[in-house]
Chain A
Amino acid sequence: MTERKEQLEEFAEERASLMKITMGPLIWAIHFVICYGLAAVTCAKGWDIEMARAGLLVFSVGSLGAIVWVGWNSWRQWNPHETGDYFNSWGRAEDRHHFLGHAAFLLAIISFLGVVFTSLPLVMLGGCQ
């Protein structure tokens, strides 16, 4: 049983590290769905769009903060300054570890830009016309 448990734990760790690279894009996706969903319902039901806009802008700032946090963590996992290796192109365990950090870091950048893009209509566009 203990071996089984160990195996499960190892497995969980494995799965987590692949899931981790999608953290940034997932935050983007949640942000996008909530922006679109809330705006659509607000317009359809005639709720106060200004309130919704303000709320969503606060939510955007929060999402950006979360992505920065993901990015910072993955930067530390990548750790190119200390290892001096920017490419991690070999098949050692530490290469895999740094690589997943690198990929997560780049995805955090793209997700950050994605959230900024999605938030632009909140700033620049009026309401429901």
Chain B
Amino acid sequence: MTDHRQDRSALPKPSGTYPPTEEMLAEPVPDEVQAAQAERLRAAWATPKGFRYWTAVNNSEVGKWYCLTALIFMLLAGVMALLIRAQLAVPESELVSADRFNQLFTMHGSAMMFLFAVPMFEAISILLLPGMLGARDMPFPRLSAFGYWCFLIGGVFVIGSIFFDAAPRAGWFMYPPLATEDEGPGSDIWLLGLSFIEVASIAAAVELIVGTLKCRPPGMRVNIMPLYAWYVMVVGGMILFAFPPLIAGDFLFELERSFDWPFFDPERGGDPMLWQHLFWIFGHPEVYIVFLPSIAIAAMIIPTVARRPIVGYSWIVLSAVGTGFLSFGLWVHHMFTTGLPTISLGFFSAASEAVVIPTGVQIFAFLATLMVGRVKMTLPMLWIAGALAIFTMGGLTGVMLALAPFDFQAHDTYFVVAHLHYTLFGGMVFPVIAGVYYFFPFIQKKQLSERLGRWAFWLIFCGFNLTFLPMHLTGLWGMPRRIYTYPTGLGWDGLNLISTVGAFVIAAGFAIFVWDLIRPKHRQPQIKRNPWEAGTLEWTHDVPEEAWGIRSIPHVASRYPLWDQPEMQARIDTGRYYLPDAAEGRRETLVTSVIDAEPIQVQRVTGPAWITQAAAAFTGGAFIFPTFHWYPPAIVCAVLAVCCIIYWLWTSTARVPEAPSKDAGLGLTLPTYASGHASVGWWAMWITMLGDATAFASLVFGFFFYWTSQDDFPPEGAMHAEPWLVGLAALGLAVAWALTVGARELNRRWMVGAARTCLAVAPLAAAGGAAALMVSVLELEPETHVYPAVLWALAIWVTVHAGAGVIMQLYCLAGSVFGKLTPRYDADIWNVSLYWHFQVLAALVTCAVMGLAPGVL
């Protein structure tokens, strides 16, 4: 036993001096060494030129494309808003038809939410976070790139539909039966296109959470990381629990649209309320997913303009985490008028009021910082001030709407439209524009115009209030949302005209802002490196730009290192800190421990590639073709997407390193490989599976929801899944899990042959189990009633996941045979067994529901 144990621990540990002593840091680096190191780093991180530029995966390039794409989608959705306002300017207008109007408002809402607000958070975070954390890049650059290309393809597909008069038109929350019965591909475009983008969002969430937890600079313990990183972590976690219910809902909805399985059809036992629940379990946290990272930008700007550390760092952490939790207890306030029991409404009304407390705490912390600091009223601060004013007004109407009796009156009127625009403009649009002005020197190494910025601010701020302040009154005077025209004489005419004028004033402001962004700035003199005199790490960036992210990764000891560690900048630039070199010409960044950011590994990160685009394009095909019921090409695309992803993983992740450890600088030697809990890949798998498990839990919730909403569920005399086959399925999948975990343990103990045998048998057990599950429901007719339909849906879910699990087992088997997976370098099998932990749980729950529920309920 002892031999292999020793060998196991032969994966080297970090060794050498940590933390670095002052003498080590003070020792100068010879000039010629510096120059040679910089040259090698530059070569390793060079951005591809010419046509190959588009293969770049560097966070700075992908982040820019992501931001610009989201901006373009936002402008398109803005133009739709202008058309909506133009149509509503005067009563009985015939500018656009009712059908076109429905498409416009549906697409305006959907695009602003799914193609602008959430992707913009991901885009900005991918762009800024490595800089704030002194990391060279995100831990999985190709995953960011994959997410971006998915977003681009999905976004163009969804928004493009409006040019073909085929856009979704049932409102951005797609309520059945309107959306399920709607003819034409509109609803399918919404469901499949946006599901595809949600996958990209979850990919970004994984990337950002792992980046925040594992890629901080040495010494940056959790109590001193930038507040932006706290918000990113909270929002990443929220995405994992908020998006999957919608994905599960989309799955059921699309099964109803494509195959007429009656999940939301009351005549056959379905219930449209299930969609409302699943949608709003996503939809309400989503508002905070949009709001928190934007207000995080304010948390970065405010200390800089107040020229002092933030007041109440812990209070803001409380606010971010507290809001993150409470925001999941609010969703029914969108459903106050659906006839739920009073007591249920009471819970959600109370929670909706409670969320005001943490939200208010952070605003007071900002105000306190401004009060005790010496404020310099810069342009970014002007936008933040506008944001706080507008958001507070939106918050006040929110307090009103959270009271059920008031909501009964104002529901589905323009009062709600005014409220949501106040919260989203104040909570998202203004802080993001503030962030653009503030971070532009970091992103583009140029300054935006102070004068144009002030013009844009006052136009948008005044235009905004001109548009939306009167809408409160329009709503209270009874104008419902989503009507394409209205008769004269109801008192709405003047108010609507004012709103329309205001909308065009906003548009003028945006035109100035966009012009300022894109106008050529070649003649501008070189900017100062830290133009706002901020204290956080991103302002150590190189001017003019270098693609390496940071010259050397510093040791951080305070919340505002540039204010507290004056010698830091020079030491970074001379390569005095960690990873000052790329000796093997490979891209690397430092991985540190979760809480205390102690260096534990030098992580190789992936470089430019076409394979990510190919994978995204085929994934896109797999989602887009089913919209038109073209299933054969969809299946071909799905298979090719899987092939691309396998190729990508095989050729560039968890490769056996050329040396087990390397010199990381400052006398520290770090391992170049990690597996299990220590590796970033394991964390990514864990986080992904948490999201996946949430989606599965939403399906199971659906099953029990039908039980509560109906008197006979399962219905009298219904056929059930074949019990012995369900039992067999549970057995097969459990054996597959046990063999996978067994293979991992045998492999660790150098029993490679036995491990390979396990990995060869496990796929058979998994396939047998999944087949038994499918056969057990084969006799049931899912079109007839929701009970067989939901059993089918669960069986499909488990079978598809078992299929993915089989591919992973075979991947590990191949890895073992071809020397990619060895007893020492075994990250792949750790990740796969983690996947199977989740899968066996899902399989057993499914089998319990299918096999036991008929007897128990």
Contact = CB atoms under 8 A, between A and B. Distances in A.
Contacts of A32: 329, 347, 351
B557 A90 contact: yes
Interface residues of A, number: 56
Contacts of A124: 346
B159 interface: no
Main SS of chain B's interface residues? helix
| Residue picked from B8, B325, B326, B343, most chain A C-beta under 10 Å | B343
B318 interface: yes
B223 A121 contact: no
Contacts of B315: 106
B836 to A, nearest CB: 20
Contacts of B594: 11, 14-15, 18
Interface string B328-353: 11000000000011111111111101
Interface string A28-71: 11001001100111011100010001000000000000000000
A28 B329 CA distance: 10
A103 B347 contact: no
A20 to B, nearest CB: 11
Contact of B224 (A90, A100, A118, A120): A90
Contact of B322 (A14, A15, A96, A110): A110
A128 B343 contact: yes
B321 A91 contact: no
Contact of B9 (A3, A22, A95, A110): A3
B708 A41 contact: yes
Contact of B222 (A18, A113, A127): A18
A3 B11 CA distance: 11
Contacts of B8: 1, 4
Contacts of A99: 222-223, 314
A126 interface: yes
Interface string B1-23: 00001101100010000000000
A43 B671 CA distance: 59
A95 B595 contact: no
Contacts of B595: 14, 17-18, 96
B309 A89 contact: yes
Interface string A75-98: 000000000000111110101100
Interface string A108-129: 0011011001101110111111
A91 B708 contact: no
A99 B329 CA distance: 27
Contacts of A118: 329, 347, 350-351, 354
A124 B357 CA distance: 21
B221 interface: yes
Contact of A128 (B221, B341, B353): B341
B222 to A, nearest CB: 6
The bracket for how many chain B residues form the interface is 35 or more
Contacts of B328: 29
B317 interface: yes
Contact of A107 (B221, B322, B556, B708): B322
A100 B222 CA distance: 8
A31 to B, nearest CB: 10
A14 B593 contact: yes
Given A3-B9, A88-B223, A95-B221, A102 B342 contact: no
Contact of B708 (A25, A35, A44): A44
Interface in B657-684: 677-678
Contacts of B351: 32, 114, 117-118
Contact of A40 (B219, B324, B341): B341
A103 B353 contact: no
A125 B318 contact: no
B220 interface: yes
Contacts of A100: 222-223
Contacts of B322: 25, 107, 110-111
B220 A91 contact: yes
Given A18-B222, A44-B708, A127-B341, A121 B556 contact: no
Contact of A106 (B318, B344, B354, B556): B318
Interface string B698-713: 0000000000110000
B509 interface: no
Interface of B: 5-6, 8-9, 13, 219-224, 309, 313-315, 317-318, 321-322, 324-326, 328-329, 340-351, 353-354, 357-358, 556-559, 593-596, 677-678, 708-709
Given A1-B9, A89-B558, A91-B224, 11 more contacts: A1-B5, A14-B595, A25-B322, A32-B347, A39-B341, A39-B347, A41-B708, A45-B708, A93-B596, A118-B350, A121-B346
30 contacts: A4-B8, A7-B678, A11-B594, A11-B678, A18-B222, A21-B321, A22-B321, A25-B324, A25-B325, A32-B347, A36-B348, A44-B708, A44-B709, A49-B343, A88-B223, A88-B314, A91-B220, A96-B221, A96-B595, A96-B596, A103-B314, A106-B318, A107-B318, A107-B321, A113-B354, A114-B329, A118-B350, A118-B351, A120-B346, A128-B342
In the A-B complex, list the 4 residue pairs whose CB atoms are closest, starting with the nearest: A121-B346, A99-B223, A25-B325, A106-B318
